[in-house]
Structure 1
Amino acid sequence: MTDKLKTEGKFTYVEAGEGPVIIVLHGLMGALSNFESTFNHFSANGYKVLIPELPLYSMPLLKTNVKNLAGFLKEFMEFKKVEKTILLGNSLGGHISLYFTKHYPEKVSALVLTGSSGLYEKAMGDSFPKRGSYEYIEKKTKGVFYDPAIGTKEMVDDVFKIVNDRNSVIRTLAIAKSAIRHNMAKDLPAMKQPTCIIWGKQDTVTPPEVADGFHELMPNSSLFWIDKCGHAAMMEKPKEFNNYLHTWLLENNI
């Protein structure tokens, strides 16, 4: 997807399609390419899809937290003149979506959560591989998926680079601590937006009971399970993920 990247001012993003807007938010170790199948499917089927690069490693250290990442999303929406959006987030991206919805409910028409943090306090810290040998990083990266083959060498190389860069490590840990501080459990019952929860049954980062927790606390939610699938359903089982989401959007007239 790098060939589709646009950089305008402080924002780097991909964009395609026409129709109701879906803004996709990637995770802490995620990349825009993680959502390539979702991006292609929905931009070709009646939606405008935007995926911004989150400034995880470029914000001032004291501002590197969930609150300011939600502020970045608000600025991005203003820049793109988006009044209201469907927010789709994986892992940290889901957490940012929830925090944003708490503070700007009028700007969110629907939520889509997959492997989201925000409810399970270990979701961020325990999933972040500490420094170590390449073999250790490879094992941790591949362990995010039910099928280890999804964790490509390119992906392992990217994670290895991050965990061996002091600037990236400090910011990653700052975000992880911020995510734990900003537990959303008390806020979820007030979120009335239609919410689609799509979860891998074998997610070891945010286990299945986390999905059950979101479903129980969010008053207008639907929960869909994908078997033989880990923490990134949109990567590991893209067809099933897209089918569940597309059907849900149509059934809810979103």
Structure 2
Amino acid sequence: MNVVFLHGLAGESRDFSEVAALLKGWRVITPAIDYFSGKFVSLPELAGQVAEELPQDLDTAQSLVVGNSLGGMLALALAGRFGRVLLAGAHIRTQSGFVGRGRKMLHTELGRIFHDPSLLTPEQVARYEERWKQFASSRELVRRLKPLKRMLGEFCGSRLYQEHQDRIHLVCGESDSISPVEVCRELQAAYPAMELTVLERCGHAVPLEQPKALADVLNKEWRALAKKCLPLEPSSAKFFSSMVTETV
């Protein structure tokens, strides 16, 4: 089975490493996405650029795409190309407000992203601190946030939800304060062919907070998709992880 993981604005490809390690026999593809490149004018255009960098031998119709946070909107934009689409802690409708750039605000933001920031490893905290420092020291990155917010506001997924609801699975953390679970329930009610899974003790960073639960959902999706179009068992597929060239 093939799976493509799309990280969010504050994330990176290795956010999915724990999930990938649990997917025995899977081909795992983790593109590095440059949200600050300035080389696109809409989220669908960025999604198309990411798709162009995927391995040419990848049969997307028999693959899963998983998007976390803003990566979820890229996954939604690519819904017509993939067999199944998992929006895992996706940026469905943000409750985000202004975020300051000081160290104190970093820990405030971690509290909004994670169900329990105290469970983060020292390495994970250090990674977030490093990314925060890079962001805080760059006026250029701060300047590029405005058009990204505009693109997110302009991206109307209602047509895509309607058209592809039978292949979309919403995976929401019960403590997600950025895209609250209530929003996921409203969306699933509006498009009832969607599946909805709510994870306990989980916030917005689903792949980092509940890797096993997400892997279990993916294995379930594999079995469902295999019945439709794939005669192979997961153990017969070759596993490898591919870091796709960053969009420029």
Please report the TM-score for the alignment, with normalisation by the length of structure 2.
Answer: 0.80
Of residues 112, 116, 138 in structure 2, which corresponds to 1:147? 116
Q: CA deviation at 1:192?
A: 4.6
CA contact (8 A) 2:68 2:90 kept: yes
CA contact (8 A) 1:25 1:89 kept: yes
Percent of aligned pairs with the same amino acid: 21
Look up the SS of the partner of 1:46 in the other structure: coil
Aligned to 2:89: 115
Matching residue's letter, 2:198: W
Runs (5+) with no aligned partner, structure 2: 228-248
2:74 paired with 1:96: yes
Aligned to 2:48: 71
Distance 1:90 1:99, change over 3 A: same
Distance 1:53 1:64, change over 3 A: farther
> How far apart in 1 are the matches of 2:8 and 2:98?
11
Aligned to 2:220: 247
Q: CA deviation at 1:245?
A: 2.5
Aligned to 1:129: 99
CA contact (8 A) 2:83 2:225 kept: no
Please report the TM-score for the alignment, with normalisation by the length of structure 1.
Answer: 0.78
Cα deviation code 1:182-237 (max 9, x no counterpart): 02124311115522221110000000112113323445322111112100121112
RMSD over aligned Cα atoms: 2.2
> How far apart in 2 are the matches of 1:80 and 1:171?
31
> How far apart in 2 are the matches of 1:203 and 1:75?
31
CA contact (8 A) 1:229 1:236 kept: yes
Matching residue's letter, 1:47: W
> How far apart in 1 are the matches of 2:97 and 2:210?
20
2:10 paired with 1:29: yes
2:21 paired with 1:47: no
Structure with more contact order per residue of length (Cα contacts < 8 Å, sep ≥ 6): 2
Aligned to 1:10: none
> How far apart in 1 are the matches of 2:160 and 2:225?
23
> How far apart in 1 are the matches of 2:17 and 2:191?
28
Q: Flag as ranges the 4+ runs of structure 1 deviating above 4 A.
A: none
Look up the SS of the partner of 1:211 in the other structure: helix
Runs (5+) with no aligned partner, structure 1: 1-19
Distance 1:58 1:185, change over 3 A: same
Distance 1:128 1:92, change over 3 A: farther
CA contact (8 A) 1:94 1:113 kept: yes
> How far apart in 2 are the matches of 1:127 and 1:114?
21
Distance 1:195 1:67, change over 3 A: closer
Look up the SS of the partner of 2:189 in the other structure: helix
